[in-house]
Amino acid sequence: MTQKVTLQIGGKDLVLETGRIAKQANGAVFAQYAGSAVIAAVCSSSEAVEGLDYVPLTVDYNEKYYAAGKIPGGFIKREGRPKDKEILVSRLIDRPMRPLFDKSFGREIQVVPTTISADQINPPDILAIIASSAAVHLSDIPFNGPIAGVRICQVDGELVVNPTYDEIERSALEIVVAGTKEGITMVEGGAKEVGEDLMIQALEKAQAVIVEFCGLQEKLRDLAGKPKLPLTLPGYTLENAEAIRSTAYPLLEEACFVKGKQERREAIGKVKSDLAAQYAAQLEDENQRKLFGALFEDMEYQILRSSILDKGRRVDGRGTEDIRDISCEIGILPRAHGSALFTRGETQALAVTTLGTVFDEQIYDDIEGDKRENFILHYNFPPYSVGEVGRMGTGRREIGHGNLARRSLEAMVPGKNEFPYTVRVVSEIMESNGSSSMASVCGGTLSMLHAGVPMKKPVAGIAMGLITEGKDPEGRYAVLSDILGEEDHLGDMDFKVAGTEDGITGFQMDIKIAGVSPGIMRKALDQARRGRLHILSIMNKTISRPTDQISEYAPKIVTMKIDVDKIGALIGPGGKNVKALCEQYSVTINTENDGTVTIYGKNAKDAEEAKAAVTGIASDPEVGRIYKGVVKRIMEFGAFVEILPGKEGLVHISKLSRQRIARVDDVVKEEQEIPVKLLEVDKMGRLNLSYIDAIDPQPGGGEGHQEDRGRGRREPRRY
């Protein structure tokens, strides 16, 4: 039986429906808002696995081209591997939902939201978040939800809920916020140097809307919800748990504070292996081994948190606001257009900037419409960065971290009108122990400045953490600056903020607890601002403004304006003229309807020579000017010479030499390059030229005749 619930948002109805489509799934919801629609279905495996220490959840968001009335571009006309955008939306859904599943359910869970209608006005990603949560919430899969998502933008000074694509394009702040009725659990977005107060206002507005969306899902569950399946609770406990704890706890208290990530890991591993050897017979059972490992993680959790809350001491000895030592280096790669090595503690990013042309832009073909981007950032996380062996490749984590770094820098990268290059930054993570994405922001800034990219302002990023006591939002807590990997894993919040000295440009937050108060958020944002300014001050000592000259190995781009009525002359019939210029000077020339001409050369010499040629074509021939021409045709009475693409003039036989000549081809040959001077443009627009070698070398000479005393006749002066 079909059930439907409706809520009006922004003058349009948000509709959630179930019971009509995908009825064999554990749960399925059709969600529609204006002309955009998503179907989300969830299934779980039939068999449970006991003792899993993680949630086997997969979210596969996908967009169908037919949703926007399009056929996929390229040779293959079927939707293929997930695009970066689909992976990013999958992460937006996964991150707030994953903590709300119980590990003891023990079954694989797959959520598949599919965009099946797109009006290209209202983004479908928020619909996908809501539909996915609703599908799980009304299904028989245990879930401590629902959750909901909302996009908040500041448009023309006002905060707008779930804006259109056009409003997003014009916004100064864009964040996607997800959470439960109790509080926010995830934030992701970018901004154009907004203040901390505006960010708090946006989060508060988002939370109010999330409560409404969650209420709508509760109504749908009341109408069509299924009874929940039982959890797979373990039927065993860890033997000798108290004896193991009493022996291991004091040893772990010492091991957890060993300096250095690898050294600390080895010290903790030794305590664990020593105890495992002592209880070897017991740990032959796989279930006992799992519980033994879980006990050690629980002890680490308690030790780290109590040390921070009771003593203000972190595992590496820092205080809550202390930032690890930072070093910045630039120009470490000899042929790269720009390079930098940013090191913060045990996190290190090698950032490399490459400058390209308009032909190197990233082209997107998706249901939002075709678009191009001239700023690209790619993030790579090889396994050796954490001292491990693993498979190389680009996974969801790499795409997510790279997107955060890109958004953090994007607002400060100049547009094509100011800097006509395509800019690609690649961040290679060399070491990692805490927020490599923020290291990528810092390294990306340094490398772009080194490459000569005229950034509006330098950008830095910092990762913050939170440790709380109990569930009371007003209870004891500590906000941590520049968190380590352990503090991220065992803490209550991972909170990344990037920005300039004047405001926030990038923002990402994942909260593992409900009910983070506005007071905690304000403190975290203020502490992050102080940390960001500290990092910027260190970066600025290395480089604070773009270098004056771009690399000699970078392409040279020259932009100029010509009269619109000269575009045809530049291009020529069938592109003949512009193709000839490109071939002659080894450049690429791009013309636009407004008369903007962009010349892309492999080096400055080629580009400048091509610019001079374009200038010549776009300007009227100038009498008295000397041109480098090419002989195109030889006639009995003279030679026709092309002085500019598509513009020919005649060098009369009398203007080829100061001496009388019998044949034109005695002096010049076809395709020969010769210097000529434009003598006049006659009433019919014809160009009369003179071979430069035929000009009277005597100064002050004008047109007329001079006496050739040796031959007793008057000879014309030639120019």
Residue 694 confidence (pLDDT) above 70: no
Residue 317 maps to a domain: no
Answer with the residue of higher pLDDT: 452 or 705: 452
| Residues 423, 349 contacting (CB under 8 angstroms) | no
CA distance 232 to 101: 13
Residue 337 confidence (pLDDT) above 70: yes
| Residues 425, 444 contacting (CB under 8 angstroms) | yes
Q: Which band of pLDDT confidence, cut at 50, 70 and 90, is reported for residue 486?
A: confident
State the DSSP H helix or E strand holding residue 379, giving kind and residue range, or none if neither: strand 375-380
Averaged pLDDT for residues 560-575: 88
pLDDT above 90 covers a percentage of the chain that reads 65
pLDDT above 70 covers a percentage of the chain that reads 95
Residue 549 maps to a domain: no
Residue 702 confidence (pLDDT) above 50: no
Q: Examine the domain organization and report whether 517 and 385 are in the same domain.
A: yes
Cβ partners under 8 Å of residue 498, min gap 6: 404, 405, 408, 409, 438, 441, 459, 460, 461, 462, 504, 505, 506, 507, 532
Kindly state the tokens that stand for 428: 């290679």
Cβ partners under 8 Å of residue 205, min gap 6: 152, 159, 161
Strand partners, 423: 355, 375
Residue 298 maps to a domain: yes
Q: Residue 714's pLDDT is what?
A: 39
Q: Examine the domain organization and report whether 220 and 250 are in the same domain.
A: no
Q: Examine the domain organization and report whether 278 and 364 are in the same domain.
A: no
Q: Examine the domain organization and report whether 332 and 305 are in the same domain.
A: no
What is the CATH number for 593? 3.30.1370.10
HEC-encoded secondary structure of 526-589: HHHHHHHHHHHHHHHHHCCCCCCCCCCCCCEEEEEECCHHHHHHHHCHHHHHHHHHHHHHCEEE
Answer with the residue of higher pLDDT: 195 or 604: 195
Residues in the chain: 719
Residue 649 confidence (pLDDT) above 60: yes
Residue 437 maps to a domain: yes
Q: Examine the domain organization and report whether 147 and 49 are in the same domain.
A: yes
Averaged pLDDT for residues 58-85: 92
Q: How many CB atoms lie within 10 A of CB 548?
A: 6
Domain that holds residue 683: 626-716
Domain closes at, from 594, 618, 642: 618
Q: Residue 710's pLDDT is what?
A: 37
What is the CATH number for 490? 3.30.230.70
Express each pLDDT in 222-274 by its tens digit: 999 999 999 987 778 889 999 999 999 999 999 999 988 889 999 999 999 99
Q: How many CB atoms lie within 10 A of CB 227?
A: 6
Residue 319 maps to a domain: no
Q: Residue 705's pLDDT is what?
A: 36
Residue 612 maps to a domain: yes
Q: Which of 440-449, 552-561, 695-704 is the least confident region?
A: 695-704
Q: Which of 15-29, 523-537, 629-643 is the least confident region?
A: 629-643
Q: Which of 238, 362, 245 is nearest to 300 (CA)?
A: 245
Q: Examine the domain organization and report whether 487 and 449 are in the same domain.
A: yes
What is the CATH number for 681? 2.40.50.140
Q: Residue 709's pLDDT is what?
A: 34
Q: Examine the domain organization and report whether 669 and 599 are in the same domain.
A: no
Strand partners, 57: 109
Residue 609 confidence (pLDDT) above 50: yes
Q: Examine the domain organization and report whether 583 and 666 are in the same domain.
A: no
Global pTM reads: 0.84
Domain closes at, from 195, 224, 253: 224
Express each pLDDT in 510-567 by its tens digit: 988 876 778 888 999 999 999 999 999 999 999 999 999 999 889 998 889 998 988 9
Q: Which band of pLDDT confidence, cut at 50, 70 and 90, is reported for residue 489?
A: confident
Coil, helix or strand at residue 284? helix
Q: Residue 245's pLDDT is what?
A: 93
Strand partners, 495: 464, 509
Q: Examine the domain organization and report whether 564 and 497 are in the same domain.
A: no
Q: Which band of pLDDT confidence, cut at 50, 70 and 90, is reported for residue 443?
A: very high
Answer with the residue of higher pLDDT: 716 or 399: 399
Coil, helix or strand at residue 393? coil
Q: Which of 460, 461, 465 is nearest to 479 (CA)?
A: 465
Residue 612 confidence (pLDDT) above 60: yes
Q: Examine the domain organization and report whether 364 and 249 are in the same domain.
A: no
| Residues 137, 217 contacting (CB under 8 angstroms) | yes
Q: How many CB atoms lie within 10 A of CB 612?
A: 11
Kindly state the tokens that stand for 300: 């680490």
Cβ partners under 8 Å of residue 214, min gap 6: 145, 146, 147, 148, 180, 181
Phi, psi of 316 (to 5 degrees): -100, 15
State the DSSP H helix or E strand holding residue 281, giving kind and residue range, or none if neither: none
Averaged pLDDT for residues 321-348: 96
What is the CATH number for 284? 1.10.10.400
Express each pLDDT in 662-679 by its tens digit: 899 888 999 999 999 999
Q: Which of 296, 301, 352, 297 is nearest to 329 (CA)?
A: 352
Q: Which of 310-314, 421-425, 544-548, 706-710 is the least confident region?
A: 706-710
Residue 590 confidence (pLDDT) above 50: yes
Give how far Cα 714 sits from Cα of 435, 557, 658, 659, Å: 89, 53, 12, 12
State the DSSP H helix or E strand holding residue 155, giving kind and residue range, or none if neither: strand 148-155
Q: Examine the domain organization and report whether 217 and 348 are in the same domain.
A: no
Residue in the structure block whose two tokens are 């959840």: 57
Residue 44 maps to a domain: yes
What is the DSSP track for 498-531? EEETTEEEEEEEEESSS---HHHHHHHHHHHHHH
Out of 134-143, 367-376, 589-598, the most confident range is 134-143
Q: Examine the domain organization and report whether 509 and 632 are in the same domain.
A: no
For the chain, give the mean pLDDT. Answer: 90
Q: Residue 657's pLDDT is what?
A: 86
Answer with the residue of higher pLDDT: 665 or 644: 665
458 exposed, middle or buried (CB, 10 Å; 0-12, 13-18, 19+)?
buried
The number of folded domains in the chain is 5
Express each pLDDT in 419-438 by its tens digit: 989 999 999 999 999 889 99
Bridge pairing between strands 173-179 and 184-194: antiparallel
Out of 39-53, 475-489, 493-507, the most confident range is 493-507
Residue 712 confidence (pLDDT) above 60: no
Domain closes at, from 279, 311, 343: 311
Q: Residue 695's pLDDT is what?
A: 52
Q: Which of 602, 599, 622, 601 is nearest to 611 (CA)?
A: 599
Q: Residue 565's pLDDT is what?
A: 87
CB hemisphere CA count around 495 (13 angstroms): 27
Residue 33 maps to a domain: yes
Averaged pLDDT for residues 673-694: 87
